[in-house]
């Protein structure tokens, strides 16, 4: 096979209490990426979108990932990649991760599935470093593995764990403002009191248990964040009102997606998720802030070949 087209999904990172270690994949929106092997030892990148992203391989997220893979195998060929981004950069729902993970998975297919999913996460982290200066793993892990994932350790990545979970739907609202990941990290303290850390650990453990047991009430009680939300919420206009509206409409809970500005809420049914996103949208109807809204399943398979699911390792 010399050419492949994949759909690379948006993702929610942190999942409220799991800062830099929890994530899940969304079925909507997703990027479309076509990768071809070429005889020349180079990487050519073409974007079919209006986001003005760089096409130099060293400055492009997908290009950095492909370059690291070609270097790893000492390849005597190159890649041509065409990208249609449907996930807006800076949205907080894993735009850079979709580019990075999609490139890694597509290249692996063309190379005969020689790398494990965990190895693909390591390659994809090189793209995240280009995007935000840090080799974060939560978004790309969820994008590659699908479903809910927990990253136990990151230097290097060890134990990306796929988590069992009940049927859940996500209501996502993306106010059209920009929050850079570096800025969102800068507003957070470098150290936290032990009591805060203990409360956070308890919520992470309880959330994982709630997902595994299908205990919606435990999931709802565990969706509390004492580490990032108290500081980052001030970057998102009307955040408290937005979250209250979602909870009153029936959401289990939710919070900031990644570093924002998108906000997500989890719900038991698609109908409730639709009600939740409508309630959150009404908060911004009273402002001049434009928004994009999504109601999404949890994407169980991660990056996939156009219509056919990738099973991988």
State the pairing for strand pair 43-47/78-84: parallel
147 and 229 housed in the same domain: no
Q: Are residues 206 and 290 in the same domain?
A: yes
Phi then psi for 151, rounded to 5 degrees?
-100, 115
- Domain check: are 63 and 182 in the same one? no
Candidates 291, 201, 178; CA nearest to 245 is 291
pLDDT at site 155: 77
* Contact (CB, 8 A) for 59 and 127: no
The CATH code of the domain that includes 37 is 3.30.230.10
Give the CATH number of the domain where residue 182 resides. 3.30.70.890
Q: Nearest 10 degrees: CA dihedral of 188, 194, 198, 199? A: -60
Q: Is residue 187, in this structure, part of any structural domain at all?
A: yes
Residue 219: phi and psi, rounded to 5, are: -55, -45
Residue with tokens 């991760």: 97
Q: Does residue 308 sit within a domain?
A: no
Q: Are residues 97 and 174 in the same domain?
A: no
Q: Are 16 and 255 in contact (CB under 8 A)?
A: yes
Going from the first residue of the chain to its last (313 residues), give the mean pLDDT of each consecutive group of 10, the final group possibly shorter.
94 96 96 96 95 93 97 96 94 95 98 95 93 86 97 82 97 92 87 95 98 98 97 95 97 96 98 98 93 95 76 38
The verdict on 12 and 144 lying in the same domain is yes
Strands 43-47, 169-175: pairing is unpaired
Question: What's the pTM?
Answer: 0.93
Does residue 306 fall inside a structural domain?
Answer: no
Structural domain includes residue 15: yes
What pLDDT shows up at residue 312? 37
Domain span holding position 158 = 3-163
Q: Please check whether residues 124 and 190 belong to one and the same domain.
A: no
Residues 109 and 190 in one domain: no
* pLDDT on residue 309: 44
Please name which of 120, 72, 75 lies closest in space to residue 97, comparing C-alpha atoms.
120
Mark which of 146, 163, 180 sits at the end of a domain. Answer: 163
Catalytic residues: 128, 181
pLDDT of residue 307: 67
pLDDT of residue 147: 97
Instruction: Read off the tokens for 96.
Output: 């850079």
CA distance 101 to 312: 13
Are 157 and 220 found together in one domain?
no
Domain-located, residue 307: no
Note whether 178 and 293 are same-domain residues. yes
């Amino acid at each position: 096979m010399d050419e492949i087209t994949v759909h690379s999904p948006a993702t929610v990172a942190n999942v409220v209490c799991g800062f830099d270690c929890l994530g899940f994949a969304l079925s909507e929106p997703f990027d479309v990426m076509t990768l071809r092997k070429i005889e020349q030892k180079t990487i050519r990148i073409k974007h079919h979108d209006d986001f003005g992203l760089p096409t130099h391989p060293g400055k492009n997220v997908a290009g950095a990932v492909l370059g690291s893979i070609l270097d790893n195998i000492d390849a005597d060929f190159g890649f041509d990649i065409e990208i249609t981004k449907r996930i807006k950069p800076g949205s907080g729902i894993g735009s850079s991760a979709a580019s990075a993970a999609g490139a890694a998975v597509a290249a692996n297919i063309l190379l005969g599935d020689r790398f494990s999913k965990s190895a693909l996460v390591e390659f994809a982290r090189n793209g995240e470093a280009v995007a935000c200066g840090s080799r974060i793993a939560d978004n790309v892990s969820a994008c590659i593995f699908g479903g809910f994932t927990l990253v136990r350790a990151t230097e290097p990545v060890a134990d990306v764990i796929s988590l069992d979970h009940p049927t859940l739907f996500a209501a996502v609202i993306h106010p059209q403002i920009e929050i850079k990941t570096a800025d969102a990290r800068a507003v957070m303290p470098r150290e936290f009191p032990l009591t805060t850390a203990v409360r956070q650990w308890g919520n992470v453990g309880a959330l994982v248990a709630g997902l595994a047991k299908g205990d919606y009430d435990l999931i709802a009680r565990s969706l509390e964040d004492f580490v990032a939300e108290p500081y980052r919420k001030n970057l998102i206009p009307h955040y408290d009102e937005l979250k209250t509206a979602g909870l009153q409409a029936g959401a289990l809970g939710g919070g900031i997606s990644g570093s924002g500005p998108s906000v997500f809420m989890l719900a038991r049914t698609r109908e409730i998720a639709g009600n939740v996103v409508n309630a959150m949208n009404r908060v911004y109807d009273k402002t001049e802030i434009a928004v994009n809204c999504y109601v999404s399943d949890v994407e169980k398979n991660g990056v996939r070949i156009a219509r056919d699911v990738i099973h991988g390792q």
